[in-house]
Structure 1
Amino acid sequence: MVQTFYRAARDMGFRSTEERKVHHLRISLEEDVESKASTGFEDVHLIHRCLPEIDPEEIDLKVEFLGHTFKAPLFISAMTGGAPEAKMINANLAEAAETLGLGMCVGSQRAALENSGLEDTFSIVRERAPKAFISANIGFMELPRLDEKNIELLIKMVEADALTIHLNALQEMLQYDAKPSFKSLKSSLESLVRSLDIPVIVKETGCGISSEDAAFFEEIGVKALEIAGLGGTSWSAVEYHRNLRMGKMDLAKVAKTFWDWGIPTVAAILEARSGSRLPIIASGGIRTGLDVLKALVLGARLGGLALPLLRPAIEGPDRLSSFLKNIIEEIKIGLILIGAKKVEEASEKPFILTGLMAEWKRQRDLIGRKRISPGTLTSVIKEESLDQ
């Protein structure tokens, strides 16, 4: 199945944005695109409870996120769309989200704005997942150029429950066919957030979100953060390989320099928790249910996966469902071992922070602020410290 995908992608002629989407997919499947730096999860130590007094069937994995109930604390993070071969991938991801009761964000919809013939590579998601939480997605670089009609089209295309704005400043500067301009993006984002009736999620793309930026996003009305920290897919690595393939050797060298740039995922969770009260999707190197559990204990609401799901999604819905069910089972086992019956109890459990992450927290003076209790955006706010 994967080889069939390769051949189809190679044989099709694409223009600009479509071509870039195919390049990114192929490179992600064929090359080493993961960060050499750590997520920091090895510095997070959970406290084992040898007498948990909990049976597996008692575990409640449900979690509330932006007014929707997920059956497990997992999120299928933005991956693809905007090229014909991506339609099958999105269809399989959407089926998994619907069957397992998870949420999903589509890849950037810019290509569909440029070519309406590509809308079905995104709309297939809502067709296959009529009840699931689905987020539309566009890059922050596009905001100054989008009008109300464009935004309505993005949302309508997938009948979106939210709109994700992805931040990829580093990647933009490493693309030979991009012309980045970052001025006025803050005001454009604020105007968009205040104009929409659906919640806006701000997502990084492998470099993490600082406490300062998290505070700004909360101030302007953003409703959730996907911190996407360092330690997973490196989009600098993706652009390194893409530049090599296109003969852009000088830019490839620059991209290689920034292969491991960013805030590690664990540090990004701590940063976002310190800077805001917004619910957090922890992503960036999440590879197991134990990674998800550690993120939940640190205060994230959901764990997000992208690259690990790509190959299973190409191999078929059964393989993808099996992969996700294994992650969910690992989360369930982990909850029992820390003495938690519900996902929302995880953030109340003690942990030990060591090594670089402990030092990061100390030097950055990251202290948990008041945060919204799990499951609601309007419930009583309680004081909570990360000094556990």
Structure 2
Amino acid sequence: MGTKTNLIKKTSKTFLITGLVLAILSSVVLYFYTKNLLQEEIEEALYSTEARIVERMTKGEAHYDLPPIIEILNVEGLRKDILKDTIIYDPSQDEMEVFRELSTFKTINNKNYQITVRDMIVETEDILSAIVFSYIVIIVLAFLFLYYFNTARNIKLWRPFFINLEQMKSFSLTSNHKLELVESDILEFSELKVEIETLTNKVRSDYLNLKQFTENVSHELQTPLAIIQAKIDNIINEKSINDTQFEQITSIQKDIHRLKQLNKRVTILSKIDNNQFANIENVNLTNLFKEKIGSFKEMEIDNITHLITNELIVPMDAFLADILINNLISNAIKHSDKNDEISIITTSNTLVVSNKGKQAIGHPERIFNRFYTENTSTESTGLGLAIVKRICDFYKFDLGYEYKDFKHSFSVSFH
């Protein structure tokens, strides 16, 4: 997409360009039209003067030359009339001047004459320049007035739209702040206001219903899962069961544990979406990695290495920071063989968690999708990386993944 332009600036720019083109075209048209009109007036005056001279000569009245305005010459033969511009020295101005010249050939009283009449063009050029200049001044003044008037008018007309747009920008599902849209006497803006209010009210209502449903489901699942887990523990501890029953009960326990994890992670995603993690503090992720690595070593997972170049301190919610680190390490452990090295690198603004892998992921573009998992044999809920992605999106961190040199690497860049 190209650079965005403000609506008023866009319309004003269009008005300016259109007005400029029209002003130039109209000035050119006016110039040539007026020039042609003045030239026709000069030629009409020349023909009129020539007709009066012929009339006087026909009556036998004396005629006088008045160079360079009037010249009468006896000629042997007649030719076609000549109408042209010529340059003649003007002693009064002591310079060469442009004249319009008409030469006609007439037979008067059995004699052939060449009658030449001229008129100076300089005055017409001055008139033409004055007319065009006056026109341009009037057009510019009118154009500037209309531009500012049009801009002010547009700002006033679009003001309700811009106010309502700012209200929409501040709209949040998690806020109880009600939209305060302004009314407009323009039908389309008024209809837009009604539709926005209807839409936002519907969206907020659906959001609150969905939020309430998610919280209720999450809460209601905890109790029956805990009861089922307690009953299974009682069966194992109090009753004699055979190996087949033990395997079946153990499988049930694993499924219950998976349901608990699923419920917990869905709840976390819901809380992130609901913007319920508003506590911001400077969390030392370097130390948090050290603590997590120590905890995993207690569980006999000692194939994790941590390379520290600088302390990584990030402003975020401490609970989400713990989940972010835990999910990245847990994902690496879950998809690695027991003796394969898991590498963690932290700098002052990035972290990278890598683990060995025999082959690349088939659909890396879907790896952060909720409930997506390529290896169905692992006890994965498909939400661990989705939660990592949602946390990064929530704080506008850059999350990346690549497979190189038989290693899966997840990186997070903090701004």
TM bucket, shorter chain:
under 0.3
Higher helix share: 2
Higher strand share: 2
Give the TM-score normalised by structure 2. Answer: 0.17
